């Protein structure tokens, strides 16, 4: 059972903390799936559905956003959970070594092949294999992978007999799929074979509600790993963390917690975040709200309660987001797919925002032909 997370030093609400602990699902040693925001709860529900079927899944998302965690959760919830889960980083090995890593080789297949070696697909029989950064694989190797997906069999390097395998293939990438297809980095036939179901893992800046929980969760893990007492996060540090855009996502947040645990200086930790804090479409920080109010001649009464400030934050956030979407749609002549790429959000998410803000394309003016005088 996980220990309580040190996230709200001032709060004694045990029910709330118990609920937050329930949002952390253990997958394996030091691996956890956190679903404390609506978007991640929806993602988990989708994972639970896909775990029941035996089909490839393409997992897309920024580097460090948690794609491997999603893949491991699919495996854990599937009927293959008793089998192996293996990950192969397609960007980490040269093409010839990657091929032998996938399919293995026979003795004498090449210089130095002193014995027969099984590849990852054989080792994963009746299990799950994750092909990380699949778009970095050579086109020739992508073709062989497509053959395995279609026929469920392959040859070892230097081998003459086919080997049948029962492996579920999950693939992950942090590249823009449309761009990879256009540039020929990802074969269309392989993409369509892998993407019968696609899971988009949102970046951390789109699930900021989870940041306090994640900070406490990583603090608990790190304190055990380093045999140090866990530190509490001040309200100021929590606020700075939620304002920060976290371009490195979960990996960056984990490293930040480790440094804070070891150094223990709240001001140093805040300074680490302050210079990088940016005005993001998804979140407006209170300090920026005050400055915005001054520039906009909005009167802020110091005696007003915190809910008024939160309302102002939401209003400014909504206005900023609406303006950004309107600008992107105008730049792309209302090509919604192009606008979604420009905004770095999903196409479905953009359609929802267009409906939310009641946006509509400008009327088309038809010029009438008239006879000259």
Instruction: Report the CATH number at residue 329.
Output: 1.10.10
**pTM passes above 0.85:** no
pLDDT at 159: 82
Query: Model confidence over 142-188: pLDDT tens digits?
Result: 999 998 998 888 888 888 888 999 999 999 999 988 888 988 889 99
% residues pLDDT > 90 (the chain): 35
Q: What is the pLDDT of residue 315?
A: 54
Site of tokens 């081998």 = 159
Choose among 167, 253, 171: nearest CA to 215: 253
Q: Which residues pair with 170 in a beta bridge?
A: 57, 130
Same structural domain, 329 and 183: no
CATH number of the domain enclosing 196? 3.40.50.300
Provide the 3-class DSSP secondary structure of residue 154.
Answer: strand
Name the region of 55 (left: φ>0; alpha: ψ -120 to 50; beta: rest).
beta
Buried b vs exposed e over 1-20: b needs ≥16 C-beta within 10 Å? Answer: eeeebbbbeeeeeeeebeeb
Contact call for residues 84 and 127 (beta carbons, < 8 A): yes
Compute the CA torsion angle 216, 222, 226, 232 (nearest 10 deg).
-20
Domain assignment of residue 103, yes or no? yes
Among 171, 201, 231, the domain-final residue is 201
The verdict on 197 and 51 lying in the same domain is: yes
More confident residue, 158 or 316: 158
Q: What percent of the chain has pLDDT over 70?
A: 77
Rounded to the nearest integer, the mean pLDDT of the chain is 79
User: Domain range spanning residue 349?
Assistant: 286-356
In a domain, 219, yes or no: no
Mark whether 329 and 184 lie in a shared domain: no
**Is residue 241, in this structure, part of any structural domain at all?**
no
Assigned domain for 258 exists: no
How many domains are there within the chain?
A: 2
Predicted pLDDT of residue 320 = 67
């Amino acid at each position: 059972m996980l220990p309580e997370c040190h996230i709200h030093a001032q709060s004694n609400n045990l029910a709330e903390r118990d609920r937050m602990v329930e949002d952390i699902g253990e997958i394996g040693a030091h691996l956890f799936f956190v679903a404390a925001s609506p978007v991640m709860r929806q993602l988990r529900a989708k994972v639970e559905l896909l775990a029941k079927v035996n089909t490839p899944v393409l997992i897309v998302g920024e580097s460090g956003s948690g794609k491997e965690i999603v893949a491991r959760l699919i495996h854990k919830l599937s009927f293959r959970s008793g089998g192996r889960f293996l990950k192969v980083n397609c960007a980490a090995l040269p093409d010839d070594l990657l091929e032998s890593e996938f399919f293995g080789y026979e003795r004498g297949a090449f210089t130095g092949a002193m014995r027969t070696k099984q590849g990852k697909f054989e080792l994963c029989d009746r299990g799950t294999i994750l092909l990380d950064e699949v778009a970095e694989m050579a086109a020739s190797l992508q073709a062989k992978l497509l053959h395995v997906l279609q026929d469920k069999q392959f040859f070892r390097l230097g081998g003459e007999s086919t080997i049948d395998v029962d492996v579920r293939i999950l693939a992950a990438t942090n590249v823009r799929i449309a761009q990879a297809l256009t540039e020929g980095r990802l074969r269309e036939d392989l993409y369509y074979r892998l993407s019968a179901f696609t899971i988009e893992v949102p970046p951390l800046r789109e699930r900021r509600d989870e940041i306090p929980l994640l900070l406490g969760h990583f603090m608990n893990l790190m304190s055990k790993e380093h045999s140090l007492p866990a530190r509490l996060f001040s309200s100021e540090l929590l606020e700075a963390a939620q304002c920060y855009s976290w371009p490195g996502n979960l990996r960056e947040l984990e490293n930040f917690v480790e440094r804070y645990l070891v150094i223990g200086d709240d001001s140093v930790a805040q300074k680490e975040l302050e210079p990088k804090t940016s005005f993001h479409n998804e979140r407006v920080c209170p300090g920026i709200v005050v400055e915005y109010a001054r520039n906009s001649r909005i009167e802020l009464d110091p005696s007003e309660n915190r809910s008024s400030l939160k309302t102002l934050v939401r209003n400014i956030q909504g206005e900023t987001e609406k303006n950004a979407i309107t600008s992107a749609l105008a730049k792309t002549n209302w090509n919604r797919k192009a606008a979604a790429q420009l905004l770095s959000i999903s196409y479905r998410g953009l359609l929802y925002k267009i409906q939310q803000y009641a946006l509509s394309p400008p009327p088309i003016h038809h010029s009438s032909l008239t006879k000259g005088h």
